[in-house]
Chains A and B, each alone.
Chain A
């Protein structure tokens, strides 16, 4: 299945920091790490919104 990608520019200094950081971590490239991190960040935000919404409606009991 053909995937759609867009090109994003980041400062070279940042890219090189990521490249150094991911050595021996299992990430094959800075790109792979950046995509993983963004997905994680988005997932956590959406989950936070879900929790906040449920709490606002009374579906989660206050401690």
Chain B
């Protein structure tokens, strides 16, 4: 099973530009796609953690990348992730660049994050897409784990500062291209985002400040996330269903 996380991906960009996104398009045609209407705050550390622990934010207790001035580490989160369970059960599993913490988390993969794990500039974001894809291909070609989870964060970071600008669609194309390189390696594929994005003033939930030292924040997180699945017969309506789906598929319950 190949799970590709695309932080902040939204149908509001994908659908109007679908002809520029051939790999999203093909996967949507070969599988099925829907919107996940989050019943939790559209906040990356919480949602990615929920997605791979099967726990609500109240249960896993992880709410922010930084707490009391300290960067939160994996060991600060008192919860087991799906890769922990799979690994213990002898199911080969790897995870790459999963952004519930910063730098993003890797399991059974040796990967040096781009720009310390928080790429901000356009060239750093491009490098992240390239480096993550390169490492993902290395894993898929050489190791072929039963379960491989890989995540791209560039669209989220770009959306914060460049929502509504043409460069954002250019980056959706880059992510589409990257996904296209990974798809041939598995017949069971899940592409999912942790939340969507929208104009700043249109956000139903405020998660970001209006300004930062970098300038104006152009958009904010939206509770509608994307889901595309191919040959995965699970019902996934919330992020925690991803954990349950993988667990049921490989651990039987």
Contacts and interface: CB of A to CB of B under 8 A. Distances in A.
A55 B214 CA distance: 8
Contact of A58 (B64, B66, B160): B160
Interface string B122-136: 000000000000000
A57 B212 contact: yes
Interface in B206-253: 208-209, 212-214, 217
Contacts of A51: 66, 71
Contacts of B160: 57-58
A49 B212 contact: no
A50 B160 CA distance: 16
A49 B214 CA distance: 14
Nearest to A45: B116
Contact of A59 (B65, B115, B213): B65
B71 A56 contact: no
Interface residues of A, number: 16
B31 to A, nearest CB: 31
A49 B208 contact: no
A16 interface: no
Interface string B43-76: 0000000000000000000001110000100000
Contact of A56 (B65, B103, B120): B120
B144 interface: no
Interface in A6-63: 46-47, 49-62
B230 to A, nearest CB: 32
B102 interface: yes
The 9 closest A-B pairs by CB, nearest first: A53-B118, A56-B214, A58-B208, A49-B116, A46-B116, A57-B160, A58-B212, A58-B217, A53-B120
Interface of A: 46-47, 49-62
Interface of B: 64-66, 71, 102-103, 115-120, 157, 160-161, 208-209, 212-214, 217
